[in-house]
């Protein structure tokens, strides 16, 4: 039942992990972060997986992680930004989860990504141009799976989590 699974989609830096943690805590549900599931299973980081085994390998692992995350009981699922690239992933998100697209302008995404300590492949070169290209390629796919869209610019994660819960409540009403 979609009301028992909340999936967060959007570009890197939109707030999926932060908002996911808050939602999981408020609902008393587990958080499944697909990138963390992949890294844990592989014993290495996502950038290492991309560098050593390539994107195709990573996307296979990502699809498996999504299936696992959406197979159980209530959970909040924070997905990687490219989860929507595979049609099967989009179908799974639509069928099994209340899916929320966390959206923010490119300059906000860049600023958020730069504020994190971890190495981000997206920040190599021109991150604004890379994120803009990804947005252009993925926006329609995010819209396709989204039951709700929440603009996260200038909002603390707590407020975004509240907006997600309000969207879920409206859906259930």
Residues 6+ apart with CB under 8 A from 45: 39
Range in 1-10, 62-71, 86-95, 117-126 the model is least confident about: 117-126
Q: How confident is the model at residue 129 (pLDDT cuts 50, 70, 90)?
A: very high
Q: Please state, in angstroms and rounded to a whole number, the distance separating the CA atoms of residues 58 and 73.
A: 25
Residue range 90-117: mean pLDDT, rounded: 92
Pair of tokens at residue 162? 């509240």
Q: How confident is the model at residue 17 (pLDDT cuts 50, 70, 90)?
A: very high
Contact 169, 105 (CB under 8 A): no
What pTM does this model have?
Answer: 0.94
């Amino acid at each position: 039942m979609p009301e028992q699974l909340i999936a967060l989609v959007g570009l890197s830096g939109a707030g999926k992990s932060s908002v996911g943690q808050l939602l999981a805590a408020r609902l008393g549900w587990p958080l499944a972060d697909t990138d963390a599931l992949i890294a844990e299973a592989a014993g290495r980081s996502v950038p290492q997986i991309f560098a050593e085994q390539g994107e195709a390998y990573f996307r296979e692992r990502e699809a498996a992680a999504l299936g696992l995350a959406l197979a159980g009981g209530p959970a909040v699922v924070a997905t990687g930004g490219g989860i929507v690239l595979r049609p099967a992933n989009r179908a799974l998100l639509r069928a099994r989860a209340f899916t929320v697209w966390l959206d923010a302008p490119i300059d906000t995404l860049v600023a958020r990504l730069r504020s994190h300590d971890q190495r981000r492949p997206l920040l190599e070169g021109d991150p604004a141009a890379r994120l803009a290209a990804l947005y252009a390629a993925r926006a329609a796919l995010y819209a396709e799976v989204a039951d709700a869209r929440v603009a996260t610019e200038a909002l603390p994660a707590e407020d975004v989590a509240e907006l997600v819960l309000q969207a879920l409540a409206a859906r259930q009403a």
